[in-house]
Structure 1
Amino acid sequence: MPKIPDCNHCLLSAHDPHIVCAVHPEGVEGDSCLDFREDPNTSVEELWLPQGASYYNGELILQPRQHWTQQQQLELLDWHPLFTGRCPQCGAEYERDYTSRVHWDCPNPECGWLDDTV
């Protein structure tokens, strides 16, 4: 019998091991129900949500701490190697392997510029 997690908190739920609900006695196909109505009398477990976090597909995701103003973030587009492909200090060009790069320290050993944005 296909029962989804929402069935436990639905106003139409039969709370019966043999019948899922009044509208869909044998359950629904898929992972959602168009007839779902939240039952105000059921206690829904409150999910813990710390400040600066959110849930994405049921998984708690902590947001990175933003220490840059919006203006600083926009200026970052003009000089950071992720966007320009060049060292902001000496202009040395980076290899085009952007998807695998985490740190953007200058490829020129004489320059010495280090990425401290991470």
Structure 2
Amino acid sequence: MPKIPECDRCLLYAQNPHIICVVHPTGVDGNSCLDFREDPNAESVEPWEPEAATYYNGELILQPNQRWTREEQLELIDTHPMFTGKCPQCQHEFDHDYTAWVHWDCPECGWMDDSV
């Protein structure tokens, strides 16, 4: 039977394995129900979320393994020319169309990007 996630929190939910609810005994067609009524007594259950995973649109997505720690990632955002537009060593400003660049080597001081 096509039961949607909201059914468990609905006043009309039958709590029966053979009937979904009094209005839609066999379930609803689609991803939502126009007759949904929030049950104030329903238990609010947070979905379990393992480490290195996140829910997106109700689906659990595993995050890829990161080669940098969280602190290293934040430092990269604060200093890398891709985000700042400037060389982290000499503060030379790159051209304004720097968002399409792949290699970030500074022509002034010789700093070379080794993050790629």
TM-score (ref. length: structure 1): 0.49
TM-score (ref. length: structure 2): 0.50
